Amino acid sequence: MKTTPEKENMPAQAPQMVTLDEKDRAILRLLQRDAKMTVREISEQVHLSTTPVHERIKRLEETGVISQYVALVDYNRFAKRMMVICYVSLKEHNKRAGNSFITAIREMDEVTECYNISGEFDFLLKVVVGSMDDYYNFHVNKLSQVGNIGHVQSVFVMGVIKQAFQPV
């Protein structure tokens, strides 16, 4: 069944809860620290043979507990050195306006994370660019061109103190 863009952008319904035992949690903690660990390395740490560990990881993937494997990037190691937190409020608050904003943001490579938040602003964006000029171009030529934006507040990150996974 093909989804329409409107359905694709709608917040997902509450996911079905999955029961995890302590071995599942231990496996998740290990994979969060190093997703490149082999099944054999994990099995040694959680004191199970490789087959049950492999089956547990597969179940965690199939049930969506593990949604994807990613690499945490140190942006100071290459050209993209500026991180900006953008708070965005929309003028109109309806499904069509929200979906239009979400669709536009998903197409912007500079936006590495986007959260729908409560309070004074509607969205929090994490934007990574190479310089202040790059951010200016992003803000003027991309973000401000999205319809229905009421207000944007930019906060420039001076240093990353902690960047980590969520504990299980």
Nearest-angstrom CA–CA distance, 144 and 139: 6
pLDDT of residue 161: 86
Q: How far apart are alpha carbons 98 and 9 in whole angstroms?
A: 9
CA distance 164 to 80: 19
Chain region(s) in the chain for CATH 3.30.70.920: 75-156
Are 131 and 82 a contacting pair, CB within 8 Å? yes
pLDDT of residue 4: 42
Provide the pLDDT for residue 42. 97
CATH of 75-156, one of 3.40.190.10, 3.30.70.920, 3.60.21.10, 3.40.50.2300: 3.30.70.920
Q: Specify whether the CB–CB gap between 159 and 131 falls below 8 A.
A: no
Among 148, 20, 149, which residue's Cα sits nearest to residue 87? 149
Question: Three-state SS for 149?
Answer: strand
> 17-26, 27-36, 65-74, 84-93: which range is least confident on average?
65-74
pLDDT at 1 over 80: no
- In CATH, what is the architecture of 20-72? Orthogonal Bundle (1.10)
pLDDT in tens, 31-80: 999 999 999 999 999 999 999 999 999 999 999 999 999 887 777 777 66
**Which helix (DSSP H) or strand (DSSP E) does residue 6 occupy?**
helix 5-9
Return left, alpha or beta for 47; rule: phi > 0 is left, psi -120 to 50 is alpha, else beta: left
What's the mean pLDDT in 99-118? Answer: 96
Average pLDDT over residues 90-116: 94
- For residues 94-116, give the mean pLDDT: 94
Average pLDDT over the chain, rounded to whole?
88
> Does residue 157 register a pLDDT over 60?
yes
Least confident of 64-78, 98-112, 119-133: 64-78
User: Could you tell me if 5 and 99 are in contact, meaning their C-beta atoms sit under 8 angstroms apart?
Assistant: yes
In Å, what is the CA distance from 97 to each residue of 6, 77, 102, 107, 139? 10, 37, 9, 16, 19
